[in-house]
C-alpha cells in the first residue's frame, strides 16, 4: 500500500458509528506477520488482503464452514439453464451495505462489472472475467449472468473466497479508480481503519444478514517477525495468532500452560518457484533447476520437518482436489549438469540468475529458504545465483511487470478445485503471476486443455485432463513445486479463547472467535 488508509466509512455512516477505543469496549486481538497489499477488489491477489475483504463483505455464493458445500450468501438461491450458460441468482430481500444503500440486483451488477472493467495488473480478476459474457438485471432482486462458455466450476468462482466476486456499494466506491479501501460492504464486519504494517480495525455490522459475529470489535495487529509474534502471544498482548509462527516457537509454545497451539491438517497451500518464461527462456535451464533444487534440506533444516516436500502443484487432498500426480523429478545433480551442458553452460560460461523473495509476506524464514535454494543450485559449479530481496508491494508490482527472473511464491486456494493450482500461472493470469506463459508457444495448447477440463462435469474425465497439464508442466517448467504449507495450518491462542480454527480454505473466521 502506498498510502495510509484510515476511517474508510462515509461521513454519514461515521456520525452514527463512532470509533471505539480499547478502553471503552473489549477487543479480540489477532496477531500476524502478514500484510495487506492494496484494498482494491480489482487489484489485489494475496491471501491476507482477501481475508480482510471476506470479513467485510460477501459474494452471491458462500461455502458452508462445516461441510464446505456451496450455499447461498447474498443470493438465497439460483437456477442454472439446461445448457449451463445462464445462472440466475435470487437475492435475499432486505440486505443493505454499511452506508445504508440496498444490496440489490443493480448493485450486484455494478460491482461485478466495475471489478472486471478495472482489472488491475496485480489482481485476480481473470478468475471470473473470461467466463462472464454479460450481467443482466431481471428485477430488483434477480440478476442473470450469461457465460462465455459452460463452466463446471462457475459457482465456486462466485463464492466469497474469490475477491473479484465480492459485492460492494456503488455509493461508497469510486467508479473508475481502484478502491484502495474506499468501499462499503455487507458485513459481518465493517472496516474501520487500516494503517499499513500496523493494524486493521474491524467493527461488527449490525445490519449483517447472517449470524452476528461472536465478538463485536477486532484488531488485527501486524508484527515484524515470528519472534515478536510469539512474544506478543506469550505476553497476552494478542488473543490469538494467525500466520506465521516459527517451527521452534510452535514446539516451545506447546509447553506454555497459558497458550494452546494446534495444527489443522491437511494443508492445501503450496510453496514454489516461478520462472519468468520470456526471460529464463531456455526450457533446458528450467528443467535443470527442477532437478537441482533440494526440497529435503528446505523441509528439514528451515522448517524442522514440519512441512513436506511436494512434486506437483495440485494438493494431494481428495476431496476437494483431485487428479494430483507426482510429476516433478527428485533431486539429481548429474541430470541437471547434463541439461545445462546441452543448453551451452559450463565453467567458462556459467548460468547467472537472480532469485527474488519477499522477507515477511510468508513468514520470516524466506531468507533461509532462498539461501538453501541458491546453495543447492550452486552445488553445480556452472550456476551463479544473486539473491534479491523486495518488500511485498514492490515484489508484486515488479512480478506483474515481468521484471523478475525467478522467485519464491506461495499459493492459498482461491476456490476449492484442482484447476486453481494449475490455471493461474499458465492460462488465467500468467502476467500478474509473473510467468508470462501467454508468450510461450504451448500456451494455446494449455488453454484448450484447461477449457475442456473446466467445462467437463464428469470429475473422472476432468481429472485426466488435469493430469495431462501436470505432465506438460514438467517439460515447460513455468513453476517448480517445493513444499506443502503445513506451517501455515497452525493457530495459537490464549487459554479462554474459543472458536479458533482453520479449515481447508486456510482462512480464519474471526467472526466465530470469542473470549470467555
Angle between helices 443-454 and 459-476 (to 10 degrees): 160
Q: Nine-digit cell at 347?
A: 565453467
The pLDDT value given to residue 444: 97
The pLDDT value given to residue 6: 36
The pLDDT value given to residue 289: 98
Instruction: Check if the beta carbon of residue 447 is closer than 8 Å to that of residue 289.
Output: no
The pLDDT value given to residue 255: 93
Q: What's the pTM? A: 0.88
How far apart are the C-alpha atoms of 199 and 18, rounded to whole Å? 18
Instruction: Check if the beta carbon of residue 363 is closer than 8 Å to that of residue 224.
Output: no
The pLDDT value given to residue 167: 98
All residues at 6 or more sequence positions from 51 whose CB lies less than 8 Å from its CB, including other chains: 507, 508
Q: Which CATH architecture has domain 270-486?
A: Roll (3.10)
Pick 5-219+490-515's CATH classification: 3.40.190.10, 2.60.40.10, 3.40.225.10, 3.40.50.2000: 3.40.190.10
How far apart are the C-alpha atoms of 88 and 135, rounded to whole Å? 10
**Averaged pLDDT in 10-residue chunks for the chain of 516 residues:** 35 36 73 95 95 98 91 98 97 98 98 97 92 98 97 96 97 97 97 97 98 98 95 98 93 95 93 98 98 97 95 94 97 98 96 96 90 98 97 92 97 96 95 95 97 94 98 98 95 98 94 96
The pLDDT value given to residue 4: 34
Residue 189 carries which DSSP code?
E
The pLDDT value given to residue 16: 34
The pLDDT value given to residue 305: 93
- What are the residue ranges spanned by the domains of the chain? 5-219+490-515, 270-486
Instruction: Check if the beta carbon of residue 300 is closer than 8 Å to that of residue 504.
Output: no
How far apart are the C-alpha atoms of 144 and 450, rounded to whole Å? 25
Neighbours of 4 (CB within 10 A): 12
The pLDDT value given to residue 66: 85
Q: Nine-digit cell at 366?
A: 524466506
Does residue 100 come out as left (phi exceeding 0), alpha (psi in the -120 to 50 range) or beta? left
Long-range CB contacts (within 8 A, 24+) of 338-347: 339/284, 339/285, 339/287, 339/288, 339/291, 340/284, 340/285, 340/288, 340/380, 340/382, 340/383, 342/284, 343/282, 343/284, 343/285, 343/288, 345/285, 345/382, 345/383, 346/382, 347/381, 347/382
How far apart are the C-alpha atoms of 239 and 177, rounded to whole Å? 36
How far apart are the C-alpha atoms of 88 and 90, rounded to whole Å? 7
Peptide bond into 319 cis (omega under 30): yes
How far apart are the C-alpha atoms of 170 and 82, rounded to whole Å? 33
The pLDDT value given to residue 122: 87
pLDDT digits over 267-279, tens only? 999 999 999 999 9
How far apart are the C-alpha atoms of 150 and 172, rounded to whole Å? 34
441 three-state secondary structure: coil
How far apart are the C-alpha atoms of 245 and 485, rounded to whole Å? 12
Give Cα 325 to chain centroid, integer Å: 22
Instruction: Check if the beta carbon of residue 420 is closer than 8 Å to that of residue 261.
Output: no
Return the CA Rg of the chain: 23
Strands 270-275 and 75-80: unpaired
The pLDDT value given to residue 265: 82
The pLDDT value given to residue 10: 35
The dihedral formed by the CA atoms of 363, 366, 369 and 371, expressed in degrees to the nearest 10: -150
Amino acid at each position: 500500500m502506498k498510502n495510509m488508509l484510515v476511517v474508510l466509512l462515509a461521513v454519514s455512516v461515521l456520525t452514527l458509528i463512532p470509533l471505539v477505543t480499547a478502553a471503552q469496549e473489549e477487543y479480540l486481538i489477532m496477531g500476524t506477520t502478514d500484510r495487506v497489499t492494496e484494498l482494491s477488489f480489482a487489484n489485489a491477489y494475496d491471501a491476507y488482503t482477501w481475508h480482510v475483504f471476506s470479513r467485510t463483505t460477501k459474494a452471491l455464493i458462500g461455502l458452508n464452514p462445516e461441510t464446505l458445500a456451496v450455499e447461498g450468501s447474498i443470493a438465497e438461491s439460483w437456477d442454472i439453464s439446461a445448457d449451463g450458460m445462464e445462472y440466475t441468482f435470487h437475492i435475499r430481500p432486505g440486505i443493505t451495505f454499511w452506508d445504508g444503500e440496498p444490496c440489490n440486483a443493480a448493485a450486484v451488477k455494478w460491482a461485478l462489472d466495475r471489478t472486471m472493467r478495472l482489472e488491475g495488473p496485480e489482481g485476480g480478476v481473470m478468475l471470473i472475467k473470461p467466463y462472464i459474457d454479460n450481467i443482466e438485471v431481471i428485477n430488483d432482486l434477480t440478476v442473470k449472468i450469461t457465460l462465455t462458455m459452460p463452466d463446471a466450476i462457475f459457482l465456486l468462482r462466485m463464492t466469497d473466497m474469490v475477491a473479484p466476486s465480492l459485492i460492494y456499494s456503488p455509493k461508497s466506491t469510486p467508479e473508475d479508480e481502484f478502491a484502495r479501501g474506499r468501499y462499503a460492504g455487507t458485513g459481518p464486519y465493517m472496516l474501520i481503519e487500516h494503517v499499513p504494517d500496523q493494524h486493521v480495525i474491524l467493527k461488527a455490522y449490525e445490519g449483517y444478514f447472517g449470524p452476528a459475529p461472536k465478538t463485536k470489535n477486532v484488531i488485527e495487529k501486524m508484527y515484524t517477525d515470528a519472534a515478536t509474534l510469539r512474544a506478543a502471544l506469550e505476553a497476552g498482548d494478542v488473543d490469538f495468532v494467525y500466520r506465521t509462527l516459527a517451527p521452534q516457537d510452535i514446539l516451545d509454545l506447546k509447553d506454555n500452560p497459558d497458550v494452546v497451539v494446534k495444527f489443522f491438517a491437511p494443508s492445501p497451500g503450496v510453496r514454489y518457484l516461478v520462472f519468468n518464461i520470456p526471460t529464463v527462456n531456455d526450457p533446458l535451464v528450467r528443467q535443470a533447476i527442477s532437478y537441482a533444487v533440494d526440497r529435503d534440506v528446505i523441509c528439514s533444516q528451515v522448517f524442522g520437518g514440519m512441512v513436506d516436500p511436494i512434486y506437483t502443484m495440485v494438493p494431494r487432498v481428495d476431496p476437494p482436489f483431485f487428479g494430483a500426480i507426482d510429476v516433478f523429478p527428485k533431486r539429481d545433480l548429474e541430470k541437471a549438469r547434463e541439461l545445462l551442458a546441452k543448453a551451452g553452460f559450463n565453467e567458462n560460461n556459467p548460468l547467472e540468475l537472480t532469485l527474488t523473495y519477499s522477507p515477511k509476506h510468508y513468514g520470516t524464514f524466506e531468507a533461509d529458504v532462498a539461501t538453501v535454494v541458491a546453495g543447492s543450485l550452486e552445488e553445480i559449479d556452472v550456476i551463479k545465483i544473486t539473491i534479491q530481496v523486495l518488500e511485498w508491494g514492490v515484489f508484486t508490482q515488479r512480478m506483474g511487470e515481468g521484471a523478475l527472473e525467478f522467485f519464491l511464491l506461495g499459493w492459498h486456494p482461491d476456490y476449492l478445485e484442482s484447476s486453481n493450482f494449475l490455471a493461474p500461472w499458465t492460462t488465467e493470469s500468467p502476467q500478474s503471476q509473473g510467468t508470462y506463459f501467454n508468450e510461450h508457444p504451448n500456451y494455446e495448447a494449455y488453454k484448450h486443455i484447461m477449457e475442456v477440463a473446466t467445462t467437463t462435469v464428469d470429475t473422472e474425465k476432468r481429472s485426466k485432463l488435469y493430469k495431462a497439464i501436470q505432465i506438460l508442466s514438467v517439460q515447460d517448467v513455468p513453476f517448480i513445486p517445493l513444499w506443502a504449507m503445513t506451517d501455515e495450518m497452525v493457530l495459537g491462542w490464549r487459554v479462554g479463547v474459543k472458536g479458533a480454527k482453520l479449515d481447508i480454505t486456510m482462512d480464519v473466521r474471526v467472526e466465530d472467535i470469542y473470549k470467555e
